[in-house]
Amino acid sequence: MEMDGFRSAERSAPAGRRGRLRLAVAAVLASTLLLTTACSGDDKPSWQGGGNTPEGTSASQPPASQPALSTVAVTSPAADAKSVELWSEVKYNSEDPANTEVKVTAKGKEVKGTVDKDAKVWRPAEGLAWNTTYTVDVSTPAADGKTTSATSTFTTMKEPSKVVRATSFLADGQKVGVGMPLIMKFGRAIPEKYRAEVERRMVVTATPAQEGVWRWSSPTEVQYRPKTYWKPNSKIFYSVNLKGVEMGDGWYGRTNLTVDLSIGREMIMTVNNKTKQMTVKQDGKVIKTLPVSLGKASTPSASGTMVVMEKAAHTVFDTTDEDPVNGYKTPIDWAQRLTYSGQFIHAAPWSEGVQGKRNVSHGCVNVSEAMGKWLFDRTLMGDVIVVSGTEEKLKNGDGWTNWNMSWEEYKKGSYLS
């Protein structure tokens, strides 16, 4: 600050007087500063942190901003949506997905489901109920320690008139052989476009764990087998959650079902056409070798890997409808079906004299009356029989031929592979 009047007087004054003038100027400056401070109230000079800067901060370091509150919102299904399909996912937005909780309820009860926090999606564990209102609550902790939340509702579709029934060939509590496939049948052909989703909803759990896959044997039937024969004494559980699953042309799955069954000991029957003997192994050990007679040249037995499909202690083979001239109608004991086309293991007392020597059957595996009963008493549906060395090969699809193809070939029948 320069005061021209004082400086002019200082220049014109003698040396002794100049000193006194400097003191006077200093006093005036000091009083001016005191007056300025007093007029400014509680404000501090800017070099002491004064001015308009908030208390406790400096002009060069602005105060830290408060953290933004985390927000959440349900994005799908839309709020108050109607006719929502039963397997619809719940989608949401969140700025803190790792700490976000999702809860879906209906009629006061929480619905089972899984949350993919990365994708910000909730998926139902099974198909939702028809024509039911669901409430979605999404919440996440806020910066102030409170909770930010969002709520939305939607209503599922009414049960359609066009529903597809799915049935399991096997039932709870059954014990089957190590070659038994799991079989699901549908009341209507499933278009290829929808088969992958149908497979995805049919989950097989084996104890101990075993790799396996579903294969479509026809548009109305799908079968499941493990990579190798089921491990003996395994426990098998499968859940088929098809209620509300779209199956094309306005058709939907009708219901869900579960099946709980067990696998027995391992029994493998091996028939060699060259020796005309059957070797029976149980849990890897030979327990019986017996003579057989296979199909004669005009009606050969098929070579391949088959399983026991059904058993009848006493039945009648009647082929007269198929062949009125050469057909036959014969009572049969201890019959075990191997193919749809009519290949069986069965007792044939009329061929006992040539069993182990010549083939005289119409394609079946003939055994004696005694051996027929012995086998029948020990086998389970799903036990394996392997026939080799005959003139004809087993056609895939002629029975449960799941084991008549390699694992790589079998997997090609899945729409998820």
Which pLDDT score is estimated for 61?
53
* Structure token pair of residue 329: 């109608």
Question: Dihedrals φ, ψ of 145, to 5°?
Answer: 90, -10
Please tell me the distance from the alpha carbon of residue 152 to that of residue 105, in angstroms, as a whole number: 11
Which pLDDT score is estimated for 21?
39
Please tell me the distance from the alpha carbon of residue 108 to that of residue 123, in angstroms, as a whole number: 19
Contacts of residue 264, defined as CB under 8 A and 6 or more positions apart, other chains included, come to: 175, 176, 177, 178, 232, 233, 380
39 is catalytic: no
- The residue among 151, 158, 163, 194 whose CA lies nearest residue 85 is 158
**Can 163-264 and 267-399 be said to share one CATH topology?**
no
**pLDDT per residue as tens digits for the range 43-83:** 443 333 334 444 444 444 545 444 455 689 999 999 999 99
Which pLDDT score is estimated for 71?
85
**CATH number for region 267-399:** 2.40.440.10
The pTM of the full predicted model, rounded to 2 decimals, is 0.78
Per domain, the residue ranges of the chain are 4-38, 72-156, 163-264, 267-399
The DSSP element (H or E) to which 72 belongs, if any, is strand 72-76
What top-level class would CATH report for the domain 163-264?
mainly beta
H runs (alpha helix) in 162-292: 192-200
**pLDDT per residue as tens digits for the range 125-143:** 999 999 999 999 999 987 7
Residues (pLDDT < 50) of the chain are 1-60, 62, 64-67
What top-level class would CATH report for the domain 72-156?
mainly beta
Which pLDDT score is estimated for 70?
61
User: What CA–CA distances, in Å, run from 367 to 28, 41, 114, 332?
Assistant: 134, 118, 56, 12
Which pLDDT score is estimated for 247?
96
The strand pairing partners of 185, in sequence order, are: 167, 221
Among residues 39, 314, 346, 362, which one is catalytic?
346
Among residues 39, 314, 362, 364, which one is catalytic?
364
Place of tokens 């082929």: 319
Going by their DSSP bridges, the two strands 221-226 and 235-241 should be labelled as unpaired
Please tell me the distance from the alpha carbon of residue 160 to that of residue 398, in angstroms, as a whole number: 36
Place of tokens 């049935």: 167
The SS3 assignment for 159 reads coil
346 is catalytic: yes
- The residue among 269, 205, 201 whose CA lies nearest residue 234 is 205
Which pLDDT score is estimated for 158?
96
Please tell me the distance from the alpha carbon of residue 36 to that of residue 390, in angstroms, as a whole number: 119
